[in-house]
Homo-oligomer: A and B are copies of this chain.
């Protein structure tokens, strides 16, 4: 999996943490630990998916529009990283003569698809609010 999913989750949690004001791509990049341009790319997807509002121009930036307890990591996974479980390279060749070699690609595809559904089910149960809660729990433990 590439890290856009992580960046998206981190950004949304941060926006949920400062709901009253807009955060610029630079502020988010600082917090996430990456480059502002990368943040803008990720946020662009989240805007198109309806999770954040953006404003260009001076004083602009990003603001969470969805309710933190109504956005799950599953939602984010689907828009940022769906299909990333299956390796890009897959074995077998449908054209070949052997039963195993010719059907393996299809069978493994099915296995990876159901595996990914499992993963999504797991992520569906975790909301942005939950993640923010876990972060606050970290502090309480210190």
Are B111 and A126 touching (Cβ within 8 A)? yes
Question: Which one of B10, B73, B89 lies within 8 Å of A104 (CB-CB)?
Answer: B10
Of A45-53, A54-62, A63-71, A116-124, the one with at least 4 CB within 8 A of chain B: A116-124
Q: How far is the CB of A16 from chain B (nearest CB, A)?
A: 9
Say yes or no: A111-B131 contact (C-beta < 8 A), given A6-B90, A91-B10: yes
Decide if the interface of chain A is mainly helix, strand, loop or mixed: helix
Contact flags (1/0) for A103-116 with B, using CB distance below 8 Å? 11011101100110
Taken together as a complex, chains A and B put the C-alpha atoms of A93 and B52 apart, in Å, by 24
Residue in chain B with minimal CB distance to A15:
B100
Report how many residues on chain A are interfacial, defined by Cβ distance under 8 Å. Answer: 53
**Residue in contact with A107 in the complex, picked from B2, B96, B99, B138, CB distance below 8 Å:** B138
> Which residues of chain B are near A93, meaning CB under 8 Å?
33
4 closest Cβ contacts across the A-B interface?
A103-B138, A3-B87, A31-B101, A3-B89
A-B contact pairs, 12 of them (CB 8 A): A1-B86, A3-B90, A6-B90, A10-B91, A13-B100, A31-B92, A31-B100, A33-B91, A100-B132, A107-B138, A110-B134, A118-B122
Chain A interface (Cβ within 8 Å of chain B)? 1-3, 5-7, 9-10, 13-14, 17, 30-34, 73, 85-93, 96, 98-101, 103-104, 106-108, 110-111, 114-115, 118-119, 121-123, 126, 131-132, 134-136, 138-139
